[in-house]
Structures are given as structure tokens and as C-alpha cells.
A and B are shown apart, each in its own frame.
Chain A
Amino acid sequence: MALDVDKIRLDFPALTRQIHGQEIVYLDSAASSQKPESVLQAMDAAYRTSYANVHRGVYQTAEETTAAFEASRAKVARFINARSASEVVFVRNATEAINLVAYSWGRANLKQGDVVVLSLMEHHANIVPWHMLAEERGIELRWIGITDDFRLDLTNLDELLSGARLLAISAMSNVLGTINEIRPLADAAHDHDALILVDACQYVPHLATDVRAWDADFVAFSAHKMLGPSGIGGLWARAELLEGMPPFLGGGEMIRDVRQDGFTTNDLPWKFEAGTPAIVEAIGWGAAIDYLANLGMADVRDHEERLTRYALDALIQNFPTMTIYGPQDASIRGGAISFLFDGIHAHDISQVLDERAVCVRAGHHCAKPLMRHIGVPATSRASLYIYNTESEVDTLIEALAKAEDFFRI
């Protein structure tokens, strides 16, 4: 069933915000999404009615909080079709999830000369942790290139994967919108005895995710891009891998026993969760997942694909001097649309758009190797989500026409 966007919009208080006397047109959900009332209420209620630390007290509210916290973990696990909630580690965000893998799995398993394969369309979150390991351990980084139509260039994949230990790759580019088909990549990696880490930060919010159908080994994602609060995210990994990995941070919660001469670690997933976690954020994330699950991810995708097609068509029709950095076929991409007018800087475009209360991102989008590859310092990026409408896209087009007019040399 098609999403009832008018009804959805009523659930998002921040979308009623007026900017310069006009209703906000929020087209930056790829950076972070807005939050529905149900998430705000779940978090508010947690603080007001039943708040305590988790996994510690035996009194009623401590047990309630712990149950709500762990219920959210189960929701996350179900949402991505994990085998068990114990495979979902709560972290701060996708960035921390990838750093956890680099720090724990990477330092335990990678030595000088070992190869990690990335792609040119990675976010810095899936580059810099590997650079750090390269500096520390002398591992080698190899890069999957990009074709002229902004897809992965897989012609030399076998060569790149030969001798590799890990393929770390995003499921959807936050700049190009390109969706990378994970299963064939996982198969290719496994054929070479490499593991695959999927940066699913832009994928999980928008498409039904099945980590087992992917046959992935590690998957990283953030709550704040999928209607949940900032401050919490997930690392999913196969239980056997997590079992074999040394802990990341040390402290309370992650231990089974501590003696003067050492410690033993807790069971999964708590082994990787040192210290008091983001308790209320986890509860809010659970409510966000309920909201998305209730809409149905197939319908979410349907709406976004249709709106993306509408936006691409409108941009191409209205602006012959605009370059769109990403596939033009909406069926193989998500709703993050990067573009640039010949000779006009993305910052200047954004500034004029702000006049019309249109919020788009301008910059390198934390993907500088990609920006270097496509040869621009920055792009504008409009990104679409469940609450965006065709009429908002029309407003974007109007505002862009005005901006182009103003800066045309």
C-alpha cells in the first residue's frame, strides 16, 4: 500500500517548524532524519516513569528499564533479520561500529601486508579506521573503483580480493545514492576467504535489510538516520566472530568477573558494551523501529523510489547545466541526490535555498576520496525520506531556479 504521507507528516513535530516565515522543507535525512512523536514520547516516558540503570538493580524500575532496553535490541535484531539479539552490539553510531571491528577484529587478526579492500564511494567512517590500522600495522588498502555511471567497477574484483582478509563496503552511497548489491560481493569475498563488513548506515533506514540473506559478517548502522535518536547505533556480527574477538573497551558491564590478577568477559553482546549504555536512546530506537515496521519497509522503499524518480526527472528537465552525481535510474539507487551547477559552488546554492526554508547539505559529505575522484570539492545533496512529498521537490526546483539565476556568470 502506498504510504499516506500527509498522515505521516502529522507525526513529525519538527516538520511544522517555520523558517523565515515558511514551512521547513527538510531534504537532509541522509545526514540525520527527523523523529516521530512516538519516539519522543517513548523517550520522555522512559525518563518520567521508569528510569534506572540497566543490568544492575533488582528493584522494579531497574527491571523495567532493563527489559525495555533489551526489548529494543530484539527489535533491532528482528528488523535486520539477525539470528539472535545477542549478535546486536549497541554502539554510539555506525562510525563506532566500524571502529570496533577495526580495533578488535582488526588488531587481533591483521598483520603487516594483509589486505583490506574498500571502495572509492566509502564514507570516511569506513576509510579512516583502516588508514589508522594501515599506519599502525602496515596493512595494505585496495580500492574498488567507480564506473562513469557511478556504480562499483567490479571488473577487477577478483584481482583486488586476491589475498584479502576483509572487504569493507557500503550498501548505499551517501553521496551518489548508488545501491551496492551485497550478496554477490559477500560471495566473492568469501570465495577468497575474506570477510565482508557492510556499512549499512544509508541502507537500513530505507530498504528491508536481511543480514543473513546478504551472508554478511559485520554490518554497521546508526539509529539517528532511521527516525531514532542520536547517540546509539548497532554493530551486527555473526556470533562466532564476536565470540572470537577480544573486547573493545574495558569497564563495567562487559565483564563476568574481575580479580586483582585479571578479568573474564561477559557473554555476547555485553562483552562489547563497557559502561552505562545509551539506555533511553535504545528505547527510542525501539520505538523508531516499531514505526518503520508498521509502515512496512517495502512500502517505504516504494515511496522513496517513486519520489526519487520524480526528483531526478524534475532536475534533469529543468536544469540542463546541472550535473547529477549518481545513477539516473531510480530502481538501483536511494534518495540521496547529489548535484552541481556548472560553475556555481554548492555552498552558494544552499545559502539561497535556505531563504526558501529548503534544507539541503552542501560539502564533501565525508567522502573526500570520492569527491577527488569525481573532481569536485563539494556538491549539493538533497535526500528524501518517508515524510517528503512531490510538492517539496517542486519547492526545491523553484528555489534552485532562483539560485541559478542569481549566480549565473
Chain B
Amino acid sequence: MSSNLEDLYREVILDHYRSPRNRGELPVPPATKTEGFNPLCGDEVAVYLEIDSATDTVRDIKIEGQGCSISQASTSMMSAAVKGKTVDGARQLIRAFKALMSIHEHKLEGEGDGSDLAADLEGVRLGDLEALQGVVKFPVRIKCATLAWNTLQQGLDEAGDSSI
């Protein structure tokens, strides 16, 4: 294995891929179910979210779907990272994760100078998620890593809408 490949497939990634956390379903309602697709490779993910509206926290999260090791690991890590977090905290984590993937949310591709990414990353503890940084060297795989996060973002939006 080349060092690039080892960088991509870190041990913690393979661990989440082999034993994914928070697999399953939640009853809808009270939970919401949001589906995400990667049109490039056909991968699918469903994120079940249960938001405690009193404390505005992610009370529970479950994941269904299939995908490559990168998308499976990223999904699993995402579920572990946001469970119990406040909705704001989860949103902050989404922004930070996308920054880790070098995705400049507010600029055209190739335009970002890095300062916007640094701001999104500041003060956020990514922990195990940092293992996914190796993905950046493989641009076509970034979509695998972000699928679950985009779906989570959509799920938080929908959960927010439905609780109003």
C-alpha cells in the first residue's frame, strides 16, 4: 500500500466501516427520516433524527443505507459525533467537517483562500473525524465522505421546520 492509500484508509476508518455505529431505524414520527443519494455511485443513506425540542438536542440518531468504506465510516462517525449534541452544535460540526473536506461553502470552487475554512474549523473538536482528512487527496471520494453530512443538514432543516 502506498502512503496515500494508508492515509485514506486509516485504521479508525476501517474500524467504523467494519462495525458501524447507530445502525437501524427510529419510528417516524416522532423521528424524521431523510434520504440522501450520491448520483455518481448510487450510494444511499437514510438518517433518522429525533430532536428533543425542549432542549434542542439530537436525542437519538439512526442510520440506514449502503456505501463504500469512506461513506460508511463517515456516516458512522457522524452519528456518534452528533448524538446528544445541541442542534446548533451539530450544525457547527457540519460546517467544520465540510471545511476539513476543503469545501468552501460561501465561495465558488477554487476561489477560497483558506481563511473561511479556518474560521469554520476554529474551536471545533473533530476527534476521530480528522482521520477522514486523507480523503481530500482523492477528490472523487469527497462526495462519499460528505453524503451523510449533507443528509444530516437537510434532516436538521426538516426537523426544525416540522417542530414549528
Contacts and interface: CB of A to CB of B under 8 A. Distances in A.
Given A20-B2, A377-B66, A406-B1, A351 B138 contact: yes
A368 interface: yes
A377 B44 contact: yes
Contacts of A345: 66-69, 72
A348 interface: yes
Interface in B51-69: 66-69
A362 interface: yes
A409 interface: yes
Give the dominant DSSP class at A's interface: helix
A378 B66 CA distance: 10
Given A351-B8, A352-B5, A409-B18, A377 B69 contact: no
Interface in A333-350: 345-348
A355 B1 contact: yes
Chain B interface size range: 20 to 34
Given A355-B1, A355-B5, A409-B18, A363 B141 contact: no
Interface in A342-378: 345-348, 351-352, 355, 362-364, 368, 371, 377-378
Contacts of B5: 351-352, 355
Contacts of B68: 345-348, 378
Most B C-beta atoms less than 10 A away, residue of A347, A351, A352, A362: A347
Contact of A368 (B9, B18, B42): B42
Interface of A: 20, 345-348, 351-352, 355, 362-364, 368, 371, 377-378, 406-407, 409
Given A352-B5, A378-B41, A407-B69, 4 more contacts: A348-B69, A351-B138, A371-B42, A377-B41
Interface of B: 1-2, 5, 8-9, 18, 40-44, 66-70, 72, 138, 141, 144
19 contacts: A345-B66, A345-B67, A345-B72, A346-B41, A347-B41, A347-B68, A348-B68, A348-B69, A348-B70, A351-B138, A351-B141, A355-B1, A355-B2, A364-B41, A377-B41, A377-B42, A377-B67, A378-B68, A407-B69
